[in-house]
Structure 1
Amino acid sequence: MINSDAQRRALLVGIAAAAMPLFAVPALAQDDNAAAAIGADNGEIVVTARRRAEREQDVPIAMTVQNAEQLDLRGAADITAIQRTTPNTTLQVSRGTNSTLTAFIRGVGQQDPLWGFEPGVGLYVDDVYIARPQGAVLDIFDIERIEVLRGPQGTLYGRNTIGGAVKYVTRRLGSEPEFKARAELGTYKEINAILSGSTPVTDTLRVGAAFAHYSRDGYGDNLTLGREHANKDVIAGRISIEFEPSSKLFFRLAADKLWDDSNINNGHRETPGFPVATPPLADKYDTLAGIGYKGRVRTGGVSLTGEWKASDAITLKSITAYREGSTHGDGIDFDGLPSQYFDIPGFYKDDQLSQELQVQFNFDRVQGVVGAYYLDGTAAGEFDAILGAFGITQPTSGSVKTKSYAAFADVSVDVTDKLLLSAGARYTSDDKTAQVFKANYFGLGVPGPTAVPFQILTDYANGRIFSKFTPRFSATYKFTPAFNIYASYSQGFKSGGFDMRGDASVTPATRLGYDPETVTTYEIGFKSNLFDRRLKLNGAIFQSDYKGQQVTTQVPVGNSAVSFVDNVGNSRIRGAELEGSAAVTDWLRANFAVGYLDAKFLNYASFGVGASGSACIANPPSPPSAIGCYIDVSDQRVFQNTPEWSGFVGLSSHHGLGSGGALDLNANLSFRSAVHLFETPIPALDQGSYQLVDLSAVWTSPDDHWRIGVHGRNLFDKRYKTGGYNFPVPAFGNSVISFYAPPRTVKLTAEFRY
């Protein structure tokens, strides 16, 4: 196994050296079925990264695309599996949940899933923006492909794509009846069932549906309550109706719903118990939390997409969508102990209505899209901090209403057959209104409707408007049809907001909210399909200037955990990415990707009392979260969820067995260097470098009706953290809590296709 950065660098050099002899090896035949599954142009993948159909290799954006066939052969269960094979990307289950997504791309993202906060990575399902991370750990079923776009995408996408975008694309319904039934059995008593199918009703009307039930015992136990811990109990469904009255008109009505009744994941204490000194539990998946075990997440929505081909060159498109969700449950036990030192029951709810209009055009040498976007959303919630050491309960509740208006355009011009120029622009205006209430009540437990607080900490309503113009430019030069280079400039914008945790009694300026942040990225890259497509190799180097960076900090102050959301300052992120695949023989293909990130804060304004000799900075954040002294601590801060190195090396083979069908084998080694879970290094929580090994074997029958697979993930049973909480003071139970990714799992799958 790889145990040091030096060994990792040696491995990367070895990959590059090993790729050189592959220029001369025979080509591996293109899998026509896989290509057809996502659309192809002369055997090449076709994507919609720029809201129009293009060959992947022609898009001047660093991106990774994986189709349904690739994900199936690797045994990918949900969207977080994309992290294994995508450089400079973090997609993980958030702390304390089963279905909330933590997403970072190139150092930009959102760890805190509290209501009202905007994600830095945009998630889209069939071009519908998913505003909240709750319920966003999408299970992979009935899809066509997943596209991961790195860097700001502000001139094209609905909202908040300063870090990048993840597009979850379902497939259009076929003209012939189709049916799939899949059963999965695995370790920890995993039992999954997935059904999907579609059929034409008339020559112009098609209907389809998909249903999935996922069930699994917990990876550990709640030793206080005698319940399993970190289990899975999820039902998901989707139905779609497509109407195509002519070759010029297409309509799709789609609805989806997710029910997640998995038990709460309360994490593992990394510090001894308090006040009785007990050693941490040996099993990283066990907990002593006493708050409860029930969880409940509901998300769903409906969308209507319409397309009209007004002419051979112009297509008009409308995307109307409504989504809503709620999260209820017993809450999060921040102390991880039976006693109520720091327990927080709570709930979230949200809804969003969005409308997007597009005009897509494709003339002889000019292509592009012009559009408008509107979103009206509300995110609300309440959590009740039960503070046993003080004998009080501190509820915090509130809501944020957002109305967003945007206009965008992106145009590409073929100046010559080799030189292509592209320009985009976007104007966004976000109108946000917030209400926040925070108070102290005597007693432990959720206050009743007639309870009267003895101290009101925060009680305000405020609103702000945030607007920004963001441009994008790129130039592509095609040396040959199989090799091009590009250079791009892009800017993304994420609006400001209000801290739902803000304590105005300690930080009066919390009423003013926090300002927007912007990311400006300069990028140079190349894309290639060389030697008659024996070698596909794409690479990019980039620098991002990150300004007004929004950071949430929570510190114990008196009988409260005070939250700060500040625009702490500026940073720069430099990096590189290289990914590709190469034919080794006519039955063996090597796949690889590597990402490098050098992220550094240039200045970081932190509120507090400076050390001896330190001075207050002249220009604190605007607006500051607190009245007092801010000091520059940029030399003491780091980026969270941003490994310096990430990537994978894999081998995939396809063996025709004649009348016995076909056998596909996949072996992957993914690696990530050390990461910090917060901007302040915390040795008890920081995760060291690690590697994961996955193996899959899949048999497909000669008639393609049956598919049986065995999939092993994290085969060396590596324990690694994906989130945590840090409250190491007696008043909060000396609590340092970690949340761990899944251990070694093995799964048997059987699928019938018709």
Structure 2
Amino acid sequence: MRRFNATRVSLLTSVCLGSLAATAPTVAQDDAVSGFALEEIQVTARRRTESLQDVPIAVTAFSADELALRGAADITDIAQVAPSVTLEPSRATNSTLTAFIRGVGQQDPLAGFEQGVALYLDDVYIARPQGALLDIYDIERIEILRGPQGTLYGRNAVGGAIKYVTKRLSDEPEFGLKFSYGTYDQMDVVAKGSVPVSDTVRVGATVASLNRDGFGENLTTGEDNYNKQILAARASVEFLPNDALFIRVAADYTNDDSNAVAGYRPYPGAFSGTPVTDSVYDTYAGATQNASTAAIGGNNEVTSKGIQGSIEWTASNSVTFKSVTAYREDYTESVIDFDSLAVDDFDAPVIYDNEQFSQEFQLLYTSDKLSGVFGFYYLDASAANDFDVVLGQLGRVAFGSELTAYTGGTVDTKAWSLFADVTYDFTEALSLSLGGRYTNDKRSADVFRATYLNGNSPFFGNEDAIQLAVSSDFEAERTFKDFSPRIALDYKLSEDALVYAGFSRGFKAGSFDPRGANITSPEVEDGFAPETLDSFEVGLKSTWLDGRARTNIAVFYSDYKDMQIPGSLPIDTDGDGTNDGFVGTVTNAGKAEIKGIEVEGNFLLTENLTLQASLNLLDAEIKEWILNGENVADQREVQNTPEFMSFVGLTYTTELSSGTLSINANWSHKSSIVQFETPVPEIDQDAYDIANASVVWTSESEKYRFGVHGKNLFDTQYKTAGYNFPTLGLENNITTFYGPPLTVTATFEVRF
């Protein structure tokens, strides 16, 4: 088991004590003495606009301009900066998100598994991870809230929440174009514009075409591996009939037509003898042109779209009503080549089909001493997945024909909740926040699994399929109810320092595994249990050195119970001693403890030079995991959770040629992680470092901006995901996916 490193604990303690000591003598000084100070950051973490330093919650915020100057491409970039956050593309995808915060997240994008980290697009909860890896354009800011979020937001979030906030339209015409060209023939174009149609109506739209060749090559098909081909658009109409009423209707569309991504094999093919590729980005995967995926034409495409309407009515100086109505859907046809070989040893055509409708009502109240939010939330969502697991070589050896295991599962959710969070100011310095949430989640499942010979299953168009056995065929439903409280006390030591302590509970309802085999394991029909997380947190937020320094520190302890751990196990369906399929398995691990320290700092070293730093130390340990009556916790670890993460960035700005030149260099470090709860050295990642640099010039009028951005400057090879199925098929199927190599991108932006 991993333990706290004494040197790192000493370092963090020194940083914490140093910021405390520095706060006392400087907070009372006037910012005017220095003549310059850090810009104040505004967030809406508590559903009202306030300074980041006044929010008694661990929050990291990124403005659009800050992200643009660093050349951030999508939301995974911010995981290098934000403490205790891991954001990666899911296995074999470009746009499906795997998110973890403080050891809480969800690895599997299948139906039935809700994410542990909630993603919001303009207050709309995105229920499924497909299409959730959002590219950064047309935004105002991104906020990351760490720890359980349920009393302030529409949907429960056990680990935390990511808020993607787009801009409101201007009352003046605005148009802009941004071009990017980089290594691997990256070619991005983003066009946006908005106009006020009248004094009360504004319209706007943004279109983005994001393209790049692959980091590697498919040596079988000749196509690119790890390429990018995305078309995205957003449009909105805003109505402002008077000063008290704001109405917005917005729609978005994303189409990811990138090639199927296949992983790197650390071992040669055990049956075919295919050698290991020279590059970790290359592959021999042939599933896109094999008969195993012919039913979807070898296609790999994710389409997601949504429409939402929001109404905000300021009834008085104290009361505001808000309604957010949204519908979203996404559809995926995907090719997964588990073996990453030309042969059809372990191929899978996959279809995901998701839709959701949500309605949220909020009442926001503000007075001299009392402020808060009261809300109702409703979600009606359906998540379906259908896939064939084609074991072509094994079937031909054992049966003389391809062997296929089909899985079709739909999980429907109908949920409603009442939530409230209020803050009462006893004095100008002392405040108490109380929150609570009642949740009612109903889950319904319809699951069918069967094994076939002679190619694909009937679902994928094979009328000649011969059914061997049915392993699952059931319908079931369960309702989960819960009340989750929150309490926090904060005290202003001065105008520039806030200390807080709080408790909050996170809840995630149980569900059903659409891959479970109820014929051999009838308990699958009962589904898996809910999980809860009790989080205790204390923090200090301080601004010092006459406003030139800002440090935020959070120390937390989480008691994680019945944590939902999905996985897959190879099975022998006919008892001949050979694994010829796999079955889903979900474990409610009895207990885990996660504790840590997080430090974030911004320092204006001179009027031109800024230092940004963050680091965290996490101790995540599974305490109870019962397997066959024995506690095997000492053989398990919390996935995707580095013990140590750090970030240091320097930004220098100066006037140059009637404009401003900004030079940024940053470095991030992550210690080792395991991809799954049981370590697998071939796919787990050792500690690694990433270095980036950017040079950006902005004209004085801000009409023009030129930039050059280098990412992963030392060309570090690091693993982001993997598959571990050594006993399924005949080829020892272990594959690993890697993050982007060294890239350099030039950007040009013009605003009208």
1:127 is the counterpart of 2:123: yes
Tell me which residue corresponds to 1:242. Answer: 238
**How many angstroms does 1:554 deviate by?**
1.5
Q: Which residue of 1 aligns with 2:294?
A: none
Equivalent residue of 2:684, what SS? coil
Please say which of residues 542-551 and 383-392 is displaced more in the overlay. Answer: 383-392
Q: Of 176, 183, 189, which residue of structure 1 is paired with 2:172?
A: 176
CA offsets 1:459-494 (integer angstroms, 9 cap, x no match): 000000011100000000001010010001000110
Match of 2:508 in 1: 494
Q: How many residues align?
A: 716
Q: Give 5+ residue unaligned stretches, structure 2.
A: 289-297, 396-401, 573-579
Secondary structure of 1:384's aligned partner: strand
Any conservation in 2 of the 1:552–1:563 contact (CA below 8 Å)?
A: yes
- The structure 1 residue matched to 2:679, chosen from 678, 681, 690, is 681
SS in 2 for 1:71: helix
Q: Secondary structure at the match of 1:44?
A: coil
- Name the residue aligned to 1:718: 716
Deviation for aligned residue 1:112: 0.6
**2:725 alignment partner AA:** F
Q: Does 1:332 align with 2:356?
A: no
Q: Which residue of 2 aligns with 1:300?
A: 305
The AA in structure 2 aligned to 1:674 is S
Task: Report deviation, 1:506.
Answer: 3.4
Aligned residue in 2 for 1:654: 653
Output aligned runs, 1:737-748, within 5 Å: 737-748=735-746
Counterpart-to-counterpart distance in 1, 2:18 and 2:507: 41
SS of corresponding position for 2:326 = strand
Q: Secondary structure at the match of 1:138?
A: coil
* Aligned match for 2:155, one of 150, 159, 167: 159
Matched, 1:435 2:431: no
Letter in 2 for 1:71: L
1:540-579 per-residue CA deviation (whole Å, 9 max, x = no partner) reads: 1000010011111222121221221121211110101000
Amino acid at match of 1:715: L
Equivalent pair of 1:358/1:370 in contact (CA under 8 Å): yes
Please, which of 672, 694, 697 is the counterpart of residue 695 of structure 2? 697
Summarize the alignment of residues 252-271 of structure 1 with structure 2, pairs less than 5 Å apart.
Answer: 252-271=248-267
| 220-229 or 17-26, which deviates more | 17-26
Quick one: structure 1 residues 53 and 245, their matched pair in 2 at CA, closer, same or farther if it must change by over 3 Å? same
**TM-superposed deviation, 1:531:** 2.4
Deviation at 1:442, TM superposition (A): 0.7
Aligned equivalent of 1:367? 371
Counterpart residue number, 1:571: 592
Letter of the structure 2 residue corresponding to residue 29 of structure 1: F
Q: Secondary structure at the match of 2:66?
A: helix
What's the secondary structure of 1:80's corresponding residue? helix
Task: Write the distance in 2 (CA, Å) between the matches of 1:327 and 1:120.
Answer: 22
1:506 and 2:504 are equivalent in the alignment: no
Q: What residue identity is the alignment partner of 1:574?
A: K
After superposition, residues 542-621 of structure 1 pair within 5 angstroms as 542-558=556-572, 559-606=580-627, 616-617=628-629
User: What is the identity, as a one-letter code, of the residue corresponding to 1:652?
Assistant: T
3-state SS in 1 of match to 2:455: coil
Question: Match of 2:512, SS?
Answer: coil
Between the aligned partners of 1:258 and 1:276, the Cα distance in structure 2 is 39
- Offset, 1:46: 1.6
* Residue number in structure 1 paired with 2:356: 352
CA RMSD, 1 decimal? 2.0
Cα 1:538–1:373 change in 2 (3 A) is same
Deviations 1:255-308 (A, max 9, x none): 000011000001111222121444421201011111016311100100000011
CA contact (8 A) 2:646 2:670 kept: yes
Check if 1:421 corresponds to 2:426.
no
Contact 1:344 1:386 in 2 (8 A): yes
For 1:568, what is the secondary structure of its paired residue? strand
> Is the contact made by 1:204 and 1:243 (CA closer than 8 Å) also made in structure 2?
yes
Aligned to 1:635: 634
Shift of 1:160: 3.2
Deviates more, 1:153-162 or 1:533-542: 153-162
Instruction: Rate the CA distance shift 1:11–1:215 in 2: closer, same or farther, 3 A.
Output: farther
AA aligned opposite 1:688: D
Alpha-carbon distance in structure 1 between the residues aligned to 2:751 and 2:545? 36
Aligned residues of 1:425 and 1:472 also touching (Cα < 8 A): yes
CA pair 730-50 structure 1, distance change in 2 beyond 3 A: closer
Q: Following the alignment from structure 1 to structure 2, what is the Cα–Cα distance between the partners of residues 8 and 523?
A: 20
Query: How much does 1:414 deviate?
Result: 0.3
Give the C-alpha shift of residue 17 in structure 1. 10
AA of the residue aligned to 1:706 = Y
**Structure 1 contact 472–489 (Cα < 8 Å) conserved:** yes
Q: CA offsets, 1:225-267, max 9 Å, x none?
A: 1111110000000001000010001100000000110000011
CA distance in 2, matches of 1:663, 1:16: 33
Match of 1:77 among 73, 84, 106: 73
1:223 aligned partner: 219
Paired AA for residue 236 in structure 1: A
TM-score, with structure 2 as normaliser: 0.92
Q: Matched residue of 2:467: which SS? A: coil
Opposite residue 138 of structure 2, the aligned amino acid is: D
2:205 pairs with 1:209: yes
Offset of 1:656 from its aligned partner? 1.6
CA-CA distance at 1:21 after TM superposition: 9.3
TM-superposed CA distance for 1:28, in Å, is 7.8
What are the equivalent positions in structure 2 for 1:438-517 lying under 5 Å apart? 438-447=449-458, 448=461, 450=463, 451-517=465-531
Alignment of 1:46-85 (within 5 A): 46-85=42-81
SS of alignment partner, residue 171 of structure 1: coil
Structure 1 distance, partners of 2:7, 2:189, is 42
- One-letter amino acid of the structure 2 residue matched with residue 376 of structure 1: D
The answer on 1:86 being equivalent to 2:72 is: no
Indicate the SS of the match to 1:562. Answer: strand
Q: Say yes or no: does 1:406 pair with 2:417.
A: yes
Show the counterpart of 1:753: 751
Q: Contact (CA 8 Å) 1:234, 1:259: kept in 2 or not?
A: yes
String of CA shifts for 1:294-337, please: whole Å, max 9, x gaps: 311100100000011111100000000000000013x1011111
Residues 1:190 and 2:186 aligned together: yes
SS at match of 1:548: strand
Residue 254 (structure 2) pairs with residue 283 (structure 1): no
Cα 1:18–1:476 change in 2 (3 A) is: closer
Alpha-carbon distance between aligned partners in 2 of 1:6 and 1:270, rounded to the nearest angstrom:
35
Q: Is the 8 A contact 2:564 2:588 kept in 1?
A: yes
CA contact (8 A) 1:27 1:583 kept: no
Q: Please, which runs of 5 or more residues in structure 1 have no aligned partner?
A: 32-42, 607-615, 618-630
Amino acid at match of 2:307: V
* TM-score, structure 1 as length reference: 0.92
1:242·1:251 contact (CA, 8 Å) conserved in 2? yes
Q: Is the 8 A contact 1:5 1:673 kept in 2?
A: no
CA distance in 2, matches of 1:59, 1:179: 34
Partner of 1:381: 385
C-alpha distance in 1 between matches for 2:274 and 2:478: 49
- Could you tell me whether the CA contact under 8 Å between 1:28 and 1:587 is conserved in 2? no
For structure 1, which segment, 681-690 or 288-297, has the greater mean C-alpha deviation from structure 2 after superposition?
A: 288-297
1:203 partner SS: coil
Equivalent in the alignment of 1:39: none
CA shift, 1:30, in A, is 4.9
CA distance in 1, matches of 2:8, 2:693: 21
Q: Give the counterpart of 1:29 among 33, 36, 42.
A: 36
Q: Distance in 2 between matches of 1:243 and 1:553?
A: 48
